[in-house]
Amino acid sequence: MHDDSEVAVLRLGHRPGRDERMTTHVGLTARALGADRVLLPDNAGQSKETVADITDRFGGPFGVELTDSPQGIIRNWEGRVVHLTMYGERVQDVEDEIRAAHGDEGQPLLVVVGAEKVPFDVYEEADWNVGVTNQPHSEVAGLAVFLDRLFEGRELERDWEDADRRVLPMETGKRVESTDEE
Protein backbone atom coordinates (compact mmCIF):
# COMPACT_ATOMS: atom_id res chain seq x y z
CA MET A 1 0.00 0.00 0.00
CA HIS A 2 3.03 2.22 -0.62
CA ASP A 3 3.93 2.55 3.07
CA ASP A 4 5.33 -1.00 3.06
CA SER A 5 6.96 -3.30 0.56
CA GLU A 6 5.01 -4.34 -2.50
CA VAL A 7 1.85 -6.43 -2.48
CA ALA A 8 0.92 -7.91 -5.87
CA VAL A 9 -2.09 -10.08 -6.64
CA LEU A 10 -1.91 -12.86 -9.21
CA ARG A 11 -5.06 -14.25 -10.82
CA LEU A 12 -4.46 -17.87 -11.87
CA GLY A 13 -6.69 -19.05 -14.71
CA HIS A 14 -9.37 -17.21 -16.67
CA ARG A 15 -12.16 -18.76 -18.74
CA PRO A 16 -13.14 -16.11 -21.34
CA GLY A 17 -16.82 -15.26 -21.08
CA ARG A 18 -17.52 -17.20 -17.91
CA ASP A 19 -14.84 -15.53 -15.70
CA GLU A 20 -14.96 -12.02 -17.17
CA ARG A 21 -16.67 -10.30 -14.24
CA MET A 22 -14.87 -12.33 -11.59
CA THR A 23 -11.41 -11.57 -13.04
CA THR A 24 -12.31 -7.88 -13.32
CA HIS A 25 -13.50 -7.90 -9.72
CA VAL A 26 -10.26 -9.54 -8.55
CA GLY A 27 -8.45 -6.56 -10.11
CA LEU A 28 -10.84 -3.94 -8.73
CA THR A 29 -10.75 -5.48 -5.26
CA ALA A 30 -6.95 -5.68 -5.28
CA ARG A 31 -6.87 -1.97 -6.15
CA ALA A 32 -9.54 -0.80 -3.72
CA LEU A 33 -8.17 -2.79 -0.79
CA GLY A 34 -4.56 -1.71 -0.95
CA ALA A 35 -2.55 -4.00 -3.26
CA ASP A 36 -0.04 -2.24 -5.53
CA ARG A 37 -0.74 -4.18 -8.72
CA VAL A 38 -2.56 -7.13 -10.22
CA LEU A 39 -1.26 -9.65 -12.73
CA LEU A 40 -3.89 -11.27 -14.94
CA PRO A 41 -3.64 -14.15 -17.44
CA ASP A 42 -3.01 -12.94 -20.99
CA ASN A 43 -6.49 -13.96 -22.18
CA ALA A 44 -8.05 -11.48 -19.73
CA GLY A 45 -7.37 -8.34 -21.79
CA GLN A 46 -10.88 -6.95 -21.32
CA SER A 47 -10.54 -7.16 -17.53
CA LYS A 48 -7.20 -5.38 -17.76
CA GLU A 49 -8.81 -2.54 -19.75
CA THR A 50 -11.62 -2.16 -17.21
CA VAL A 51 -9.25 -2.06 -14.21
CA ALA A 52 -6.97 0.44 -15.99
CA ASP A 53 -9.99 2.61 -16.85
CA ILE A 54 -11.20 2.67 -13.23
CA THR A 55 -7.68 3.57 -12.09
CA ASP A 56 -7.56 6.44 -14.61
CA ARG A 57 -10.85 7.80 -13.33
CA PHE A 58 -10.73 7.07 -9.60
CA GLY A 59 -6.99 7.23 -8.98
CA GLY A 60 -4.00 5.18 -8.07
CA PRO A 61 -1.23 4.36 -8.07
CA PHE A 62 -2.19 0.86 -9.15
CA GLY A 63 -0.71 -1.34 -11.86
CA VAL A 64 -2.44 -3.92 -14.03
CA GLU A 65 -0.48 -6.28 -16.25
CA LEU A 66 -1.05 -9.40 -18.33
CA THR A 67 1.25 -12.40 -18.06
CA ASP A 68 1.63 -15.40 -20.38
CA SER A 69 3.14 -17.42 -17.53
CA PRO A 70 1.27 -17.05 -14.24
CA GLN A 71 3.09 -20.03 -12.72
CA GLY A 72 6.40 -18.56 -13.88
CA ILE A 73 5.54 -15.43 -11.87
CA ILE A 74 5.16 -17.62 -8.77
CA ARG A 75 8.40 -19.56 -9.40
CA ASN A 76 10.44 -16.41 -9.99
CA TRP A 77 8.87 -14.21 -7.28
CA GLU A 78 11.50 -12.51 -5.15
CA GLY A 79 9.63 -12.43 -1.89
CA ARG A 80 6.90 -14.51 -0.26
CA VAL A 81 3.92 -16.18 -1.85
CA VAL A 82 0.48 -16.52 -0.24
CA HIS A 83 -1.99 -18.81 -2.02
CA LEU A 84 -5.61 -18.31 -0.97
CA THR A 85 -7.46 -21.61 -0.84
CA MET A 86 -10.27 -23.10 1.21
CA TYR A 87 -7.91 -26.00 2.01
CA GLY A 88 -5.25 -23.81 3.60
CA GLU A 89 -4.25 -22.86 7.12
CA ARG A 90 -6.68 -20.55 8.90
CA VAL A 91 -5.99 -16.90 8.12
CA GLN A 92 -6.35 -16.00 11.80
CA ASP A 93 -3.55 -18.47 12.63
CA VAL A 94 -0.98 -17.27 10.08
CA GLU A 95 -1.74 -13.58 9.55
CA ASP A 96 0.81 -12.40 12.16
CA GLU A 97 3.58 -14.43 10.54
CA ILE A 98 2.70 -13.12 7.07
CA ARG A 99 2.47 -9.54 8.32
CA ALA A 100 5.86 -9.88 10.00
CA ALA A 101 7.48 -11.20 6.82
CA HIS A 102 5.93 -8.41 4.75
CA GLY A 103 5.96 -5.47 7.14
CA ASP A 104 8.94 -6.08 9.42
CA GLU A 105 11.22 -7.98 7.04
CA GLY A 106 10.07 -5.97 4.00
CA GLN A 107 9.39 -9.02 1.85
CA PRO A 108 7.35 -8.31 -1.29
CA LEU A 109 4.18 -10.38 -1.15
CA LEU A 110 2.47 -12.19 -4.03
CA VAL A 111 -1.14 -13.11 -3.24
CA VAL A 112 -2.41 -15.85 -5.57
CA VAL A 113 -6.09 -16.56 -6.22
CA GLY A 114 -7.48 -19.26 -8.48
CA ALA A 115 -10.44 -19.60 -10.81
CA GLU A 116 -10.98 -23.27 -11.63
CA LYS A 117 -8.93 -26.11 -10.14
CA VAL A 118 -5.51 -24.88 -9.03
CA PRO A 119 -2.51 -27.12 -9.98
CA PHE A 120 -0.96 -28.87 -7.00
CA ASP A 121 2.45 -27.29 -7.80
CA VAL A 122 1.00 -23.97 -6.60
CA TYR A 123 0.22 -25.46 -3.18
CA GLU A 124 3.84 -26.65 -2.96
CA GLU A 125 5.44 -23.44 -4.23
CA ALA A 126 3.46 -21.15 -1.91
CA ASP A 127 5.02 -20.11 1.39
CA TRP A 128 1.54 -20.15 2.89
CA ASN A 129 -1.69 -21.75 1.72
CA VAL A 130 -4.31 -19.68 3.51
CA GLY A 131 -8.01 -20.30 4.04
CA VAL A 132 -10.39 -17.45 4.74
CA THR A 133 -12.64 -19.91 6.52
CA ASN A 134 -12.30 -23.48 5.25
CA GLN A 135 -15.57 -23.15 3.38
CA PRO A 136 -15.90 -22.80 -0.39
CA HIS A 137 -16.71 -19.25 -1.53
CA SER A 138 -15.03 -16.88 -3.95
CA GLU A 139 -11.63 -15.47 -4.88
CA VAL A 140 -13.00 -11.93 -4.53
CA ALA A 141 -14.28 -12.51 -0.99
CA GLY A 142 -11.09 -14.33 0.05
CA LEU A 143 -8.90 -11.59 -1.37
CA ALA A 144 -10.86 -8.78 0.30
CA VAL A 145 -10.73 -10.34 3.76
CA PHE A 146 -7.08 -11.31 3.40
CA LEU A 147 -5.95 -7.81 2.35
CA ASP A 148 -7.94 -6.18 5.13
CA ARG A 149 -6.30 -8.54 7.67
CA LEU A 150 -2.86 -7.93 6.16
CA PHE A 151 -3.19 -4.14 6.34
CA GLU A 152 -5.22 -4.18 9.57
CA GLY A 153 -7.71 -1.73 8.08
CA ARG A 154 -5.16 0.94 7.09
CA GLU A 155 -6.15 0.50 3.43
CA LEU A 156 -9.53 2.06 4.23
CA GLU A 157 -7.83 5.38 4.99
CA ARG A 158 -5.66 5.67 1.90
CA ASP A 159 -5.51 8.69 -0.39
CA TRP A 160 -5.87 8.30 -4.15
CA GLU A 161 -3.56 10.17 -6.49
CA ASP A 162 -4.36 11.56 -9.97
CA ALA A 163 -8.09 10.86 -9.73
CA ASP A 164 -10.49 12.66 -12.09
CA ARG A 165 -13.34 12.16 -9.67
CA ARG A 166 -14.05 11.43 -6.07
CA VAL A 167 -17.10 10.00 -4.34
CA LEU A 168 -18.39 12.07 -1.43
CA PRO A 169 -19.66 9.69 1.24
CA MET A 170 -23.29 10.46 2.08
CA GLU A 171 -25.89 9.07 4.38
CA THR A 172 -28.36 9.00 1.49
CA GLY A 173 -27.96 9.69 -2.21
CA LYS A 174 -25.01 9.68 -4.57
CA ARG A 175 -22.53 12.45 -5.11
CA VAL A 176 -19.41 12.29 -7.24
CA GLU A 177 -17.33 15.43 -7.69
CA SER A 178 -14.69 16.27 -10.21
CA THR A 179 -11.28 16.77 -8.62
CA ASP A 180 -10.87 19.87 -10.85
CA GLU A 181 -13.24 21.68 -8.44
CA GLU A 182 -10.40 22.11 -5.92
Q: Is 114 annotated as a binding residue?
A: yes
Q: How far apart are CA 106 and CA 148, in angstroms?
A: 18
> Annotation-wise, does 115 bind a ligand?
yes
Among 46, 5, 1, 4, smallest CA distance to 22 is for 46
- Write the interaction track for ligand SAM spanning residues 72-111; mark x where CB under 6 A is met and - where it is not: ------------xxx-------------------------
Question: Which one-letter DSSP state was computed for residue 167?
Answer: E
138 binds ligand SAM (CB under 6 A): yes
**CA separation for the pair 7, 17 (Å, rounded):** 28
Residue 157: phi, psi to the nearest 5? Answer: -100, 5
Q: In whole angstroms, how close is the CB of 122 to ligand SAM at the nearest point?
A: 9
Asked whether residue 116 is marked as a ligand-binding residue, the answer is yes
Site string for ligand SAM, 144-163 (x = CB under 6 A): --------------------
Sign of CA dihedral 179, 47, 66, 79: positive
Binding footprint of ligand SAM on the chain (CB under 6 A): 84-86, 113-115, 117-118, 131-133, 135-139, 142
